[in-house]
Amino acid sequence: MITHPTQFISRALDNNRLSDGFYELELEWNSHAPAPTPGQFLTIRIGNGKGTVPLLRRPFAFSSFDADSSVVRIIYQTRGIGTEFLASARRGEELDVIGPLGTPFAVDTDRSKHIIVAGGIGLGPMLFLSSYLTSRNISSRFVFGCRNEGFIPSIKRFTAANPLICTDDGSAGFRGTAADYINANILPDINTDTTIYACGPLPMLKSVSKIAKDRNANCLVSLEAVMACGVGACMGCVVPTVNGYSRVCKEGPIFNGKDVLWERM
Amino acid sequence: MGTNVDLSVRIGANTIPNPVGVASGTFGYGSEYRGLVDFSDIGAIYTKAVTLEPRPGNAPPRLIETPSGILNSIGLANVGVEKFITDKLPYLSTLPCAVIVNAAGATEDEYRRVIDRIENVDANGVFGYEINVSCPNVNHGGLAFGTDPAQVERLTSSLRKSTKKPLIIKLTPNVTDITAIAKAAEAGGADAVSLINTLVGMVIDVKGKKAVLGAKTGGLSGPAVRPVGVALTYRVKRAVSIPIIGMGGITSADDALQYIMAGASAIQIGTANFVNPKTASLVLSGIRKYCVSNGVPSLKEICGIAE
What is the structure's pLDDT at A81?
A: 84
What is the structure's pLDDT at B138?
A: 66
What is the structure's pLDDT at B137?
A: 67
Are residues A217 and A109 located together in one domain of the fold?
Answer: yes
The CATH T-level fold of domain B9-301 is TIM Barrel (3.20.20)
Number of domain units in chain A: 3
Is residue A13 situated within a structural domain? yes
Strand order in the sheet with A141-146: A174-175, A164-167, A141-146, A113-119, A194-199, A218-222, A254-256
Q: Judge whether B135 counts as a catalytic residue.
A: yes
For residues A155-174, average pLDDT: 95
Cβ neighbours of A55 (radius 10 Å): 24
Residue B287 pLDDT > 50: yes
Establish if A225 touches chain B: CB-CB under 8 angstroms. yes
Instruction: Calculate how close chain A gets to B179, using CA atoms only, in Å.
Output: 29
Are residues A190 and A261 located together in one domain of the fold?
Answer: no
What is the structure's pLDDT at B301?
A: 95
Domain ranges, residue A41 = 6-101
Is residue A33 situated within a structural domain? yes
Residue where a domain stops, chosen among A85, A101, A117: A101
Q: How far apart are CA A27 and CA A89, in angstroms?
A: 10
**A225·B223 Cβ contact <8 A:** no
For residues B135-140, average pLDDT: 65
Are residues A56 and A76 located together in one domain of the fold?
Answer: yes
Selecting from B57, B67, B70 the residue whose C-beta is nearest the C-beta of A56 gives B70
pTM of the model: 0.96
Write out chain B in H/E/C secondary structure. Answer: CCCCCECCEEECCEEECCCEEECCCCCCCCHHHCCCCCHHHCCEEECCCECCCCECCCCCCCEEEECCEEEECCCCCECHHHHHHHHHHHHHHCCCCEEEEEECCCCHHHHHHHHHHHHHHCCCCCCEEEEECCECCCCCCEHHHHCCHHHHHHHHHHHHCCCCCCEEEECCCCCCCHHHHHHHHHHCCCCEEEECCCEEEECEECCCCEECECCEEEEEECHHHHHHHHHHHHHHHCCCCCCEEEECCCCCHHHHHHHHHHCCCEEEECCHHHHCCCHHHHHHHHHHHHHHHCCCCEHHHCCCCCC
> Do the Cβ atoms of B88 and B29 come closer than 8 Å?
yes
Is residue A73 situated within a structural domain? yes
For residues A100-107, average pLDDT: 96
What is the structure's pLDDT at B140?
A: 57
Is residue A1 situated within a structural domain? no
User: Which residues on neighbouring strands pair with residue A95, listed in sequence order?
Assistant: A10
Residues of B with CB below 8 A from A56's CB?
65, 70, 274-275
Are residues A25 and A54 located together in one domain of the fold?
Answer: yes
Are residues A249 and A200 located together in one domain of the fold?
Answer: no
Single out the residue of B133, B234, B114 nearest to residue B174, CA to CA: B133
Q: Would you call A54 helix, strand, or coil by DSSP?
A: coil
Write the CB contacts of B167 (distance below 8 Å, at least 6 apart in sequence): B12, B128, B129, B131, B156, B159, B160, B189, B190, B191, B192
* CATH assignment at residue A255: 2.10.240.10
* CATH assignment at residue A67: 2.40.30.10
Residue A20 pLDDT > 90: no
What is the structure's pLDDT at B1?
A: 46
Residue of A nearest to B218 (CA): A236
Instruction: Calculate how close chain B gets to A210, using CA atoms only, in Å.
Output: 22
Is residue A199 situated within a structural domain? yes
What is the structure's pLDDT at A79?
A: 85
Are residues A35 and A89 located together in one domain of the fold?
Answer: yes
What is the structure's pLDDT at B141?
A: 53
| Least confident segment among A48-57, A61-70, A185-194 | A48-57
Are residues A212 and A175 located together in one domain of the fold?
Answer: yes
Longest dimension (CA), chain B: 58
Are residues A228 and A147 located together in one domain of the fold?
Answer: no
* CATH assignment at residue A158: 3.40.50.80
Are residues A121 and A216 located together in one domain of the fold?
Answer: yes
Q: Which of A1, A81, A83, A245 to mutate to test the interface with B (most CBs of B within 10 A)?
A: A245
Is residue A66 situated within a structural domain? yes
Single out the residue of B246, B80, B224 nearest to residue A244, CA to CA: B80
With cut-offs at 50, 70 and 90, classify the pLDDT of residue A52.
very high
ipTM of the complex: 0.95
H-run or E-run covering A100: strand A94-101
**A233·B72 Cβ contact <8 A:** no
What is the percent of chain A where pLDDT is above 70?
A: 99
Q: Would you call A49 helix, strand, or coil by DSSP?
A: helix
Size of interface A-B (CB pairs under 8 A): 105
Selecting from A7, A237, A239 the residue whose C-beta is nearest the C-beta of B63 gives A237
Instruction: Calculate how close chain A gets to B196, using CA atoms only, in Å.
Output: 18
What is the structure's pLDDT at B2?
A: 46
User: Which residues on neighbouring strands pair with residue A116, listed in sequence order?
Assistant: A142, A197
For residues A25-47, average pLDDT: 96
Instruction: Calculate how close chain A gets to B223, using CA atoms only, in Å.
Output: 7
At B83-101, the pLDDT tens digits run 999 999 999 999 999 999 9
Write the CB contacts of B69 (distance below 8 Å, at least 6 apart in sequence): A55, B220, B221, B222, B223, B224, B225, B249, B271
What is the structure's pLDDT at A49?
A: 82
Residue A100 pLDDT > 50: yes
Selecting from B48, B77, B276 the residue whose C-beta is nearest the C-beta of A245 gives B77
